[in-house]
Structure 1
Amino acid sequence: MFTMDLFSGIGRLGVAFSGGVDSSVLLALAVRELGPDRVVAILGVSPSLAADEREGAHAVARFIGVAVAEVNTFEGERDAYRANGPDRCFHCKDELFTRIADEVVTAYRLDAVAYGENADDARRADRPGGRAAAAHRVLRPLADAGLDKAAVRRLAREFGLPCADKPAAPCLASRIPHFEPVSPEKLAQVERAEAALRGLGFGDLRVRHHGDVARIELPPDDLERAVRDPLRSRLRAAVLAAGFRFAALDVAGVQSGAFTLPLVRRG
């Protein structure tokens, strides 16, 4: 069993929690070291969080045995967030950590707040949320311990977490091209389309919002079956029902950082 002193000197810890693999492993490690009564999972709720992701986060927290504190975030009221530049994640995380500081830290008598950045993400140029974490003195125990994505996945399986094999699920705003404004209507379209595709049996996927066009990213194996009827027709109908006029399959497959990485590399 993995052991490491990641939380030395902390009496009560809040974990910024999404139900994804990274934050779930961090939460499980914190509970193992501090005990469930000294750890709180903090879930930010806004239109950028899909309903099934919210439900899944609660399920993982129940499995780990820790309480969830939901905090409403209002990044959509920030002009810089809606403008959707490459630093959008900074404004989102800054809103989250501000709300946590204002509403959760005192209420739960927390000594510190941590989030689940891993060592791989800490090295990526398209993760401006890390600047917000640093500004708010939010801890990043996984990255500081040198735990990369592969190590975090191994721990998730070792702990038997229900999200151990869950695909990465960035927030819904990541589906909108930079400099195209983020709006609740676009986020809802993407959420409806992705939920419908999951209902058709697709797991790892993205629906990128290009106005009337939904650009669908799927793993290679899923691409092959997505173009065969009757699934092809059902996929198209599901996307059109979400409010798009056209459904396009991207043969490049699922692309992490598809909108942000080209911009930060160019800069």
Structure 2
Amino acid sequence: MSRPAPAALTSWLEVLQCPHCHHRMRIDERTLRCPSGHSFDLARAGYVSLLTGAPATSGDDDAMARARDGFLATGAYAPLRDAIGDLAPRTTERVLDIGGGTGYYLAGLLEELPQAHGLGVDTSVRALRFAARAHERAAAAAWDVFTRFPLAEGSADLVLNVFAPRNPPEFARVLAPGGHLLVVRPAVDHLAELRAAVPGMVGLDPRKEERLHAVLDPLFTTEEVREVRFPLAVSGRAARDLVAMTPSARHVAPQALEELADGTVTVSVLASLHRRR
């Protein structure tokens, strides 16, 4: 006997659309189907892939997803998760987490919003396995953030985007009138000590804020910007995970990570809330 589909996913059925023909889908045991005959099976881990055509390039391989899950489980980034919970509008009922990785931030937000349901989106299979069990009210799905989202217009109250790629036109399309976008990104001195100590770490664009507002301002009004900044004492293991869970992992020699020792790094992040125009 097959297991039923996760309740968290069925709560999104009325707004999920087939990525091929954009028709509404129904669930048949553990398969999503549309009237045109397209179907998408749920993975054993509980997520569904709505990718079409060539597979999207994932930013997180298995090692990166495991490093992320291990590091975040220590609670080191709890101040950031708390800030996200503080910024989110209290009336939010549907949260779409784009590039949500292992689901850590979405799970924290759902704890703050007991009436809300979440959908975490990523292209990393390993990250989705974590995300599918991150919270009982969080579903998980795969699709390419740079294509049209398989969601109806106005289907989310809040789009969450934490250290992840962005598609502002689609964010605006799937947000309900008066809906919000919550964006979290590193400030220029984020993890500065690690970047100085580890050759090959990816640098931060000094014009990041300018570029962000250039793409968001035509579609959104900025309501609040908050800086989350604190010193973080890390063990050598935690420092290695901090590097290994980012795209820098692809550019850093393994020996450079092994040489990391206990120390303190600066966490410096900007979180902003934007209302759809």
| TM-score for the superposition, normalised by structure 1 | 0.37
Q: Which has the higher helix share?
A: 1
Q: Which has the higher strand share?
A: 2
| TM-score for the superposition, normalised by structure 2 | 0.36
